[in-house]
């Protein structure tokens, strides 16, 4: 065989291996370890719509706020549950479409919502479901969407799709968020990376599906670290039902950032953007620039620079989340004391 033939055969074999990991149906290997009472009839319900699972943690009494939590790329609702387990407000945990659910779904109730016009794996698809959740599941007049990373873009796009729902009574907490005109951190922001990274994603995550804690600890995103963060980040390598969902997530995310204007920030009653002291996933520089553009056009938007944090503020320094939630004005414009 010639060198050309051998090279061609190698490339074909490599691509077929990549396609294997891209389309393989993956078993769930990480599960939530929460108290059984958190999602039973006494205090909560689990719902399902299409390939999305939603869990509601009822308020301790009359709900003054409904907090909708949407996780980032590769994450599930476990990202928020430790921080919100004792929350007095109603908490609606939503998951990325096409990901395994961390909580029991055998008794999940099917939702009769309108057909989703967007493709699964897109920010727009998940935002459409958030809009439906505001309309039909949130019991309080004041609604807060807490979006982390890609979940921040989902929260923002909810306002783009449903401004009539969000302008007067929906606030945002954007945590290290994917924002209009933002970019990934470092070399991942280049055009070459935008093409190459989605291709290699299934291989990277497939080979690290059972990553060890020792190997995980060496990743830049793990500084700073703690046991809860390590436990949740290690599960992020195996959250999707198929890795092709990750590929769709990344390709769509890049286009969303490029094509979404700053005007979307005006579709909410209040926006608090939390920025990590460093961020090894998203560019702090472009994130801050985007938020500053939003502040120019919306007097109800603010930015908070956090300390001792990376990309995962809820897991690293959750007091910033509690303070942001506490300081959000209610529908009347007053702030909780």
pLDDT digits (tens, 9 = 90+) for 211-245: 999 999 999 999 999 999 999 999 999 999 999 99
Pairing of strands 270-275, 301-305: parallel
- Residue 219 domain-assigned? no
Residue 58 is assigned to a structural domain of this protein: yes
Please check whether residue 199 lies inside any domain of the structure.
Answer: no
Q: Is the pTM of this model over 0.85?
A: yes
Mean pLDDT of 172-182: 98
| Residue 148 resides in a domain | yes
Does residue 336 fall inside a structural domain?
Answer: no
Number of domains composing the chain: 1
Distance, in Å, from the CA atom of 255 to the CA atom of 258, rounded to the nearest integer, reads 5
pLDDT per residue as tens digits for the range 102-129: 888 888 899 999 999 999 999 999 999 9
**Calpha distance 180→170 (Å, rounded):** 19
308: Cβ contacts below 8 Å, ≥ 6 apart? 224, 277, 316, 317
| CATH code for the domain in which residue 44 is found | 3.40.50.1820
Domain assignment present for residue 47? The answer is yes
Reported as a single tens digit per residue, the pLDDT across 259-307 is 999 999 999 999 999 999 999 999 999 999 999 999 999 999 999 999 9
Q: Could you tell me if residue 194 is inside a domain?
A: no
| Structural domain harbouring 132 | 36-185+230-327
- For position 30, what pLDDT does the model report? 87
Looking at residue 125, what is its pLDDT?
98
**Does residue 306 sit in helix, strand or coil?**
coil
CA dist 156 and 62 (Å) reads: 27
Kindly report, residue by residue over 20-51, the tens digit of the pLDDT. 999 999 999 988 744 434 444 445 689 999 99
- Of residues 104 and 251, more confidence is placed in 251
Q: Is residue 197 part of a domain?
A: no
- Position 2 confidence tier, pLDDT thresholds 50, 70, 90: very high
């Amino acid at each position: 065989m010639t060198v050309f033939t051998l090279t061609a055969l190698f490339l074909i074999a490599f691509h077929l291996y990549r396609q294997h990991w891209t389309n393989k149906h993956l078993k769930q290997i990480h599960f939530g370890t929460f108290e059984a009472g958190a999602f039973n009839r006494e205090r909560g319900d689990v719902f399902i719509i299409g390939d999305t699972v939603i869990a509601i943690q009822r308020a301790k009494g009359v709900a003054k706020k409904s907090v909708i939590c949407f996780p980032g790329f590769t994450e599930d609702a476990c990202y928020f549950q430790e921080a919100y387990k004792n929350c007095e407000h109603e908490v609606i945990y939503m998951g990325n479409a096409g990901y395994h659910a961390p909580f029991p779904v055998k008794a999940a109730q099917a939702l009769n919502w309108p057909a989703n016009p967007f493709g699964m794996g897109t920010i727009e698809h998940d935002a459409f479901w958030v809009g439906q959740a505001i309309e039909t599941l949130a019991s309080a007049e004041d609604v807060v969407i807490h979006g982390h990373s890609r979940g921040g873009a989902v929260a923002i796009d909810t306002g783009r799709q449903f401004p009539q729902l969000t302008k007067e009574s929906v606030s945002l907490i954007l945590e290290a968020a994917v924002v209009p005109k933002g970019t990934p951190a470092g070399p991942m922001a280049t055009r070459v990376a935008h093409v190459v990274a989605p291709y290699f994603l299934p291989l990277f995550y497939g080979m690290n599906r059972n990553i060890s804690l020792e190997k995980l600890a060496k990743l830049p995103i793990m500084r700073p670290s703690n046991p809860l963060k390590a436990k949740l980040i290690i599960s992020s390598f195996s959250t999707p039902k198929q890795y092709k969902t990750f590929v769709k997530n990344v390709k769509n995310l890049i286009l969303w950032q490029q094509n979404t204007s700053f005007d979307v920030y005006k579709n909410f009653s209040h926006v608090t953007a939390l920025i990590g002291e460093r961020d090894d996933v998203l560019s702090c520089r472009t994130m801050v620039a985007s938020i500053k553009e939003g502040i120019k056009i919306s007097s109800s938007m603010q930015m908070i620079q956090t300390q001792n944090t990376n990309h995962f503020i809820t897991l690293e320094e959750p007091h910033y989340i509690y303070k942001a939630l506490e300081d959000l004005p209610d529908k009347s414009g007053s702030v909780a004391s």
